[in-house]
Amino acid sequence: MSQTEKKKSSGFLVNLLFNIVIPTLILSKLSEEHQLGPVWALVAALAFPVGFGLWELQQSKKVNFLSVLGVISVLLTGGMSLLQLDPAYIAIKEAAVPGLIAVIVLVSQRSKYPLVKKILLNDELLDLAKLDACLKANSAEQLFAAKLQNCAYLVAGAFTLSSVLNYGLAKYLLVSAPGTPAFNEELAQMTAMSYPVIVLPVTVVLMVAIFYLFSQIGKVTGESLESFLRQ
């Protein structure tokens, strides 16, 4: 296994640990009154994904729109839970965040900074300067833009799917009153199930979009994809 592959694998496991495993264990095992209690268990559980998200932002030295949105989403969930709002509001929030991303993906296609390009075209993987030069040399910029538009529909569809699944999962699981151990247990279940129920299907759709775009690079430029990959 290469150093890059090890780094990606380590990053994925750490992400899983701080965003799902630890919060789930705290909410499900430490919410009783004789332990942390429902309020402090919720605060402790939320501290891990928020802290990890802020640490990632600090490490990267640049603002990542999706990371910022993830931190805001966790803070909203925690705030609504601590304020003991009706679980229906949390379900709406769970649907609103990916739904907002889907809208931004489509709207940004009409701007100079399409979000789908940021999501799918990674400068660490592809030599984007070389790709742009090749597109210009072949007068294929508009054709490639049309391919990116198709990807935008796929990515927006992935986040729309996430919106629907988020809402359904929250409505199904969050039935107890906030501020109780039962509610924390349900929140733990929702956190644990979010990966197989939501993340995996959305990841599949995003992988389809990436596969489609990479296959089109060769067709549009007349060169192999490997020629644009960074060594």
Distance CA 51, CA 11 (A): 15
Q: What does the pLDDT read at residue 1?
A: 47
Burial 56-80 (b: 16+ CB within 10 A, else e): beeeeeeeeeeeebbbebbebbbeb
- Complete DSSP assignment for 126-164: B-HHHHHHHHHHTT-HHHHHHHHHHHHHHHHHHHHHHHH
According to DSSP, residue 174 is labeled: -
Closest CA to 203 of 161, 148, 153, 151: 161
Distance CA 117, CA 160 (A): 18
Residues (pLDDT < 50) of the chain are 1-10
Domain span including residue 41? 3-228
Q: What does the pLDDT read at residue 8?
A: 45
Q: What does the pLDDT read at residue 68?
A: 65
The domain total for the chain is 1
